[in-house]
Amino acid sequence: MMGLYKKTIYRWLGDRGLVLEFGDEISFEINQRVRRMALAIQTEAIQGIIETVPTYRSLLIVYNPLLIPIDLLKRCLEKIEEGLQETPLPEPKLTKIPVVYGGVYGPDLEFVAQYHGISSEEVIRLHCSKPYWIYMIGFMPGYPYMGELPEGLNTPRLKTPRLSVPKGSVAIAQRQTGIYSMESPGGWQIIGRTPLELFDPQREPPALLRMGDQVQFYPISEKEFLEWKN
């Protein structure tokens, strides 16, 4: 592990993609650089760049080679990087997420508690004890990858992923936590479920959460969950 690279690595991705790698681990510093670069590129509005896709530690740039040759694109990006620290970042928005923990809504809560030698109540307390940074949106529309969990909740993924995880499931894996925005297969430990809609194509914007913002979980009862859903 090297952390933040001294020099950004550029990797070609086919004939329409360029990946900028800023580091080799999950860290706030690296993710901030990814985010700054994505915002700076949007501000520059370089002709030929179609889309940017930020991740934990890298940034995918999809471009039209008929509008901007790869060498020119690389020079433009390197120039942007020179002044990257001057790019302002908006203040993070905090979204509070209600969660019903355990039971049919969190089938792995007991395992997580046993794995760490603590009570289920302590798992819930720890999970709700701090706001989490949204490092990226990915895997499926609106799915937030967040971290980092308290050290006492560092838990491995399932050995065999489930074929179906209900929409709204709140999960953990290693030092990350996330929310399944729709039903899908998944291998994270499911500890609860939220009644909130994380992704609605009829809403503007469709995704409830965005990279660079924060999430704070809080527990609710099953009765409150069902009332919320209705």
- Give the HSE-up count for residue 131: Cα atoms under 13 Å, Cβ half-sphere: 11
Q: For domain 4-86, which architecture applies?
A: 2-Layer Sandwich (3.30)
Residue 101 identity (one-letter amino acid): Y
Query: Same CATH fold, 94-229 and 4-86?
Result: no
Q: For residues 92 and 124, what is the distance between their CA atoms, to the nearest angstrom?
A: 24
Q: For residues 86 and 36, what is the distance between their CA atoms, to the nearest angstrom?
A: 9
pTM above 0.85, yes or no: yes
Q: What secondary structure letter does DSSP report for 69?
A: -
Domain 94-229 has CATH 3.30.930.10: no
pLDDT per position in the chain (230 positions), as tens? 568 888 999 999 988 999 999 998 888 899 999 999 999 998 888 999 999 999 999 999 999 999 999 999 999 999 999 888 777 888 899 999 999 999 999 999 999 999 999 999 999 999 999 999 999 998 899 999 998 999 899 999 999 999 999 999 999 999 999 999 999 999 999 999 999 999 999 998 999 999 999 999 999 999 999 999 77
Q: Hey, where are the domains in the chain?
A: 4-86, 94-229
